[in-house]
Structure 1
Amino acid sequence: MQAISENTRGALLMTLSMAAFTLNDTCFKLVGKTLPLGQVLFLRGVMASLFLLMLARFFGVRWPDLSRKDTVLIAVRSFAEVGAAFFLLTALMNMPLANLTALLQMLPLTVTLGSALFFREAVGWRRWGAIVVGFCGMLLIVKPGAEGFNLFSVYGLIAVAFVTLRDLTVRRISASVPSLFVTIAASVSVTIFAGILGTQEDWLAMGGREWALIGATAAFICVGYFLSVLVMRVGEVSHVAPFRYTGLVWALILGFVVFGDWPGNLTLIGAAIIVATGVFTMWREAQVRRRLRKIQAAGL
């Protein structure tokens, strides 16, 4: 039997990672119907942080000697993770799963936009065009001014902004800092925030169903983190990255099967536009990177 290629293995790991994160969202949405946000987020955070610490021990990740710059960047990333968790999960409790997941598919576009605006990275007219078209797709999903538009649509967009800040910050952290360490710092920060948020809520008694769902959401998010770490080590980024959009397929399936939700035609069209422009943007970025490597190699 012929062994599968590294790119195929990476694509499979990315697909499974997206499935795990979407299952986490599904379980969180289910348990969030009966328990307050802070309580669920804190208990999940404790479980997930313990797992990530064990994972770090398994991979031999040790506390790095951080520069002042990396310390600040990790703090900013952790802040962004806290903001993303609050706004994303609040929106998740009040929006169809697929609609919110479709908004999150804008990340390759918003990260490219942020890189151009804040880091002065060169972005050609093709990628600028893809960003504009992608934002038009976003408008089809949130429908500003329409009856379906509400505060939680805004929360979803704010979550996208926080996740964009998180991903932009990661690009500036030194390569010597283990990615798993950065993830642990973010997980602990979210857990601390959730504990503070929980003091403002009335915690409710939990039965077997609630414990099972919180355990499941912690397990799925940990599996997602673990697979995302493995993905970084397997295959070419340009080949593997587009498979992150399988998260939208999982969200459509689970949203329909578990919650009976199916997006309207405009939402589906908007999601298709965002996915198409996102894939194009990643393809163009891969082309630019290859061209730069060839120029650098020729200069040597």
Structure 2
Amino acid sequence: MSPVPSHNRPHRPLYAIALRLIAVICLSIMFVTVRLADARGVHVIESLFYRQALALPVVFAWIASTTGIGSIRTRRIGVHATRMAIGLTGMALNFLSYILLPPAEAASIGFTMPIFGTILSALILREATGIHRWSAVLIGFLGVLIMVRPDAGHFPAIGVAVAIVAAFVTASVSLVLRELGRTENAGVIVFWFTLLSVPPLAVGMLFYGQSHDPVTWGLLLLIGVVGGIAQICLTAALRWAPVSVVLPMDYSTIIWTTLLGWAIWGDWPMSTTWIGAALIIASGLYIAWREHVRARRPASAQ
């Protein structure tokens, strides 16, 4: 099933923004719950498995009630498998970043994804990237340096490294999604990513799966359900408005993760975190704006 051309899509920006906001809140809950589950002895492989396995019926039901089961047919299973491998790696690293770092700091470093996306687009896709976007890239990395202050040792170096690599891998997924998006509906991409990731994770469960108490099972259930809802809302939002309209909602993650981290662990970000996060967010929003300008005026300077 081919994607609906952008000029034929319905336009309901407020509805799309609301869906994106729900998705971001669900993702924040999911990441914080992964941290809680880790504290109760849950291995990251278990969190990943239940995240995908429990989300699968949610995603399948959504596709069945919207585009229909027949829409999941694909002739590009190899590209979907590549997307799964990279996406699952990124998800694992993102889970680990929230385990190793306070939620607000993990979320803030995750905002560097558009920065890495710009670098990869320039190096791999050979897209024109002028002084505007390169300046935004430098400002974003300056924000990371201000936030983590590597000389001060506020945060474990391994946690910072994992979070940065997670952002890089997540940005790499966007390159594969661009290719898939030429022929595949967004819902189909979500379905095959979820389905194809279950078998390798099931193999991992043979080594890391274990029994848990009812509270821990409840946390694992929550990870899967809110993760599935987030995927659906992220995808559905793009049916009603372009990325440039809904993207700013992603940066509200810093609000939800900060509030959850404060309520659960008493973590409150340092002033350097707020300053660094502001620079990273400004960088990401500027890059998104330049992408919007580039889409509208491809011949102009980038």
In the superposition, the TM-score normalised over structure 2's length comes to 0.88
CA distance in 2, matches of 1:20, 1:8: 18
- Residues 142, 9 of structure 1: CA spacing in aligned structure 2 closer, same or farther, 3 A cutoff? same
* Alignment match, 2:3: none
CA contact (8 A) 2:81 2:196 kept: no
Which of residues 252, 264, 267 is equivalent to 1:261?
267
Deviations 1:185-230 (A, max 9, x none): 22234333332333333x4432221121111111111111111111
Q: Following TM superposition, by how much is the alpha carbon of 1:184 offset from its aligned partner in structure 2, in angstroms?
A: 2.1
Matched, 1:40 2:47: yes
Residue of structure 2 aligned with 1:275, choices 264, 271, 281: 281
Q: Decide whether the 8 Å contact of 1:105 with 1:275 is kept in 2.
A: yes
> Deviation at 1:140?
2.4
Change (3 A) 1:116 1:223: same
Letter in 1 for 2:205: G
3-state SS in 2 of match to 1:175:
coil
1:287: which partner in 2? 293
> In the aligned structure 1, how far is the partner of 2:13 from the partner of 2:181?
26
Q: Which amino acid aligns with 1:173?
A: L
Matched residue pairs, number? Answer: 286
2: CA distance, partners of 1:141 / 1:190: 34
C-alpha distance in 2 between matches for 1:283 and 1:225? 24
For the 8 Å contact 1:42–1:192, the answer to whether it is kept is no
How far does residue 269 in structure 1 lie from its aligned partner after superposition?
1.0
Mapping of residues 99-248 of structure 1, within 5 Å: 99-147=105-153, 148-201=155-208, 203-248=209-254
| Distance in structure 2 (CA, Å) of the matches to 1:86 and 1:230 | 24
Letter in 2 for 1:163: T
Change (3 A) 1:174 1:225: closer
Percent identity reads 21
Give the CA deviation at 1:90: 1.8
Alpha-carbon displacement from aligned partner over 1:144-200 (angstroms, at most 9, x marks no partner): 344234212211111111111111110111433122222222223433333233333
Describe the shift of the 1:198–1:141 C-alpha distance in structure 2 as closer, same or farther (beyond 3 A): farther
Root-mean-square deviation (CA, aligned residues, Å) is 2.0
| TM-score normalized with structure 1 length | 0.88
CA distance in 1, matches of 2:109, 2:172: 16
Which one of 7, 11, 17 corresponds to residue 11 of structure 1?
A: 17
Given the alignment, which residue of 87, 91, 94 partners 2:97?
91
Going from structure 1 to structure 2, the CA distance change for 1:45 and 1:235 (only over 3 Å counts) comes to closer
Give 1:133 shift.
0.9
Give ranges in structure 2 of 5+ residues lacking alignment: 1-10
